[in-house]
């Protein structure tokens, strides 16, 4: 808008001369020098990485999300991955090899540190902070891609460099590796703790699931950042098309297990939503419990754990009920109803349901003498 015209002058005064600032990108030579420095592991790199590994491992063991987030901010693993993507975009094999080696050394350092720390603390139980990082799907890949676009674009703009801490939180690199290390320190079977509920005999698939999540983050960040650098003309697609095809192929292979995991994730969410409704007392709205709502209103669900893998589900439930209310026959009927609904409504191939009942009893006391007992 021409500011010399009366209307243009009016708009400028009204908006405070607001306009989009199209900042210039960092020169290619300057960015290249910065990526060379980031591709070489330094003492500071390893100090921060070890600290991040220790913080993340202790946060995972203590089931503290805040501590794990702190480890994400400290971890310097994002830098060599962005250097790898930049090297691929400019077809610099030497820089790519050095960056990839730094990433590999960093990965081994984190896994080894977490495994040693978990062994030292004799960790034998897993919690939600750990299990939430063992079943990656396409959603996690989408997060990695979006975070990579933000991170690589911010790296090419001086005024946006402060956004990198937020990117590190969005795409967690160190926590999945720490979960992998913790899983390696355990036996073939683990005990899962969720709130007050405990489930024993769970097959230890923690390491493979968490490492798949890291691979999803690594490949997603590399491919997305590679495209960002190419769009900004730091590199030429005519020179790096082989690198681009290779990493797109890796991304395609990764999408196969992730897409299957997304299907399992959606089924798990559907089952858990029904259990959440039960916990909220909405027994009349559920097909399984609406026939006898008075009985089910006297029953509390203390714990529920749903695991879905390859279209097969494992459901562990813990109820609290007055003695004699939730009988063995009623529990078997509930289990059969869950299996039937899971197969008919969700298309599951098989469901294994385990139900535990904790009888409750309330005693009222006056002084040292019980006045009454209600169940």
Q: Does the CA dihedral 63-69-75-79 come out positive or negative? A: positive
Residue 4's φ and ψ, nearest 5 degrees, are -80, -20
Domains detected in the chain: 28-235 (1.20.1080), 272-366 (3.30.70.1350)
**338, 313 contact by CB (below 8 A):** no
Contacts for 120 with CB less than 8 Å, ≥ 6 apart: none
- State how far the Cα of 358 lies from the Cα of 324, in Å rounded to an integer: 11
Cα R_g (the chain), whole angstroms: 27
Q: Helix, strand, or coil here: 154?
A: helix
Q: pLDDT tens-digit profile of 263-315?
A: 777 877 778 777 777 777 776 666 777 777 777 777 887 777 787 877 888 88
- State how far the Cα of 251 lies from the Cα of 10, in Å rounded to an integer: 52
- State how far the Cα of 221 lies from the Cα of 29, in Å rounded to an integer: 22
pLDDT confidence of residue 344: 81
Report the side by side order of strands in the sheet with 189-194: 125-126, 189-194, 197-203
pLDDT confidence of residue 102: 94
- State how far the Cα of 242 lies from the Cα of 320, in Å rounded to an integer: 60
Residue that the structure tokens 């946006």 belong to: 160
DSSP symbol at 187: -
Q: Helix, strand, or coil here: 202?
A: strand
- State how far the Cα of 339 lies from the Cα of 353, in Å rounded to an integer: 8
- State how far the Cα of 175 lies from the Cα of 37, in Å rounded to an integer: 25
pLDDT confidence of residue 336: 86
pLDDT digit string (tens) for the chain, length 375 residues: 555 566 566 666 666 666 666 677 788 888 888 888 888 888 989 999 999 999 999 999 998 988 998 888 888 888 899 999 999 999 999 999 999 999 999 999 999 999 999 999 988 777 888 888 888 888 899 999 998 898 888 888 776 665 565 566 667 889 999 999 998 888 665 555 554 455 554 545 788 889 999 999 999 999 999 999 999 888 888 888 999 999 999 999 999 888 877 777 787 777 877 777 777 777 666 677 777 777 777 788 777 778 787 788 888 888 888 877 778 888 888 888 888 888 888 788 888 888 888 777 666 666 555 555 444
Q: Does the CA dihedral 123-125-126-128 come out positive or negative? A: negative
Within 10 A of 74 (CB to CB), how many other CB atoms are there?
19
Q: pLDDT tens-digit profile of 44-74?
A: 899 999 999 999 999 999 989 889 988 888 8
Q: Helix, strand, or coil here: 145?
A: helix
């Amino acid at each position: 808008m021409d500011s010399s015209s009366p209307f243009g002058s009016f708009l400028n005064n009204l908006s405070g001369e607001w306009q989009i600032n199209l900042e210039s990108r960092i020169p290619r030579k300057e960015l290249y020098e910065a990526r060379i420095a980031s591709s070489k592991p330094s003492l500071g790199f390893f100090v921060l990485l070890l600290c991040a590994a220790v913080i993340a491992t202790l946060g995972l063991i203590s089931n503290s999300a805040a501590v794990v987030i702190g480890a994400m901010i400290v971890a310097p693993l994002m830098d060599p991955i962005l250097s790898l993507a930049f090297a691929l975009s400019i077809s610099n094999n030497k820089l790519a090899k050095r960056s990839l080696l730094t990433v590999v050394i960093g990965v081994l350092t984190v896994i080894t540190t977490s495994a040693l720390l978990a062994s030292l603390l004799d960790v034998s139980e897993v919690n939600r902070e750990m299990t939430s990082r063992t079943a990656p799907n396409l959603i996690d890949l989408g997060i990695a891609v979006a975070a990579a676009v933000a991170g690589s674009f911010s790296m090419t703009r001086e005024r946006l460099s402060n956004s990198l801490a937020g990117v590190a939180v969005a795409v967690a690199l160190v926590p999945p590796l720490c979960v992998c290390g913790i899983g390696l320190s355990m036996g073939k079977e683990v005990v899962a703790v969720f709130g007050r509920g405990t489930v024993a005999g769970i097959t230890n698939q923690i390491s493979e699931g968490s490492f798949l999540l890291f691979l999803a983050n690594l490949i997603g960040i590399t491919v997305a950042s590679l495209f960002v650098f190419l769009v900004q003309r730091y590199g030429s697609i005519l020179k790096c098309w082989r690198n681009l095809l290779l990493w797109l192929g890796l991304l395609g292979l990764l999408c196969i297990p992730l897409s299957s995991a997304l299907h399992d994730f959606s089924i798990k969410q559907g089952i858990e939503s029904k259990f959440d409704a039960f916990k909220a007392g909405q027994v009349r709205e559920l097909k399984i419990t609406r026939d006898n709502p008075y009985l089910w209103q006297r029953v509390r669900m203390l714990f529920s754990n749903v695991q879905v893998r390859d279209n097969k589900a494992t459901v562990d439930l813990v109820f609290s009920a007055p003695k004699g209310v939730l009988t063995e026959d009623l529990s078997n009927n509930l289990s059969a109803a869950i299996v039937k609904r899971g197969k008919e409504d969700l298309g599951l191939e098989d469901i294994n349901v385990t139900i535990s009942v904790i009888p409750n009893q309330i005693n009222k006391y006056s002084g040292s003498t019980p006045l009454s007992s209600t169940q």
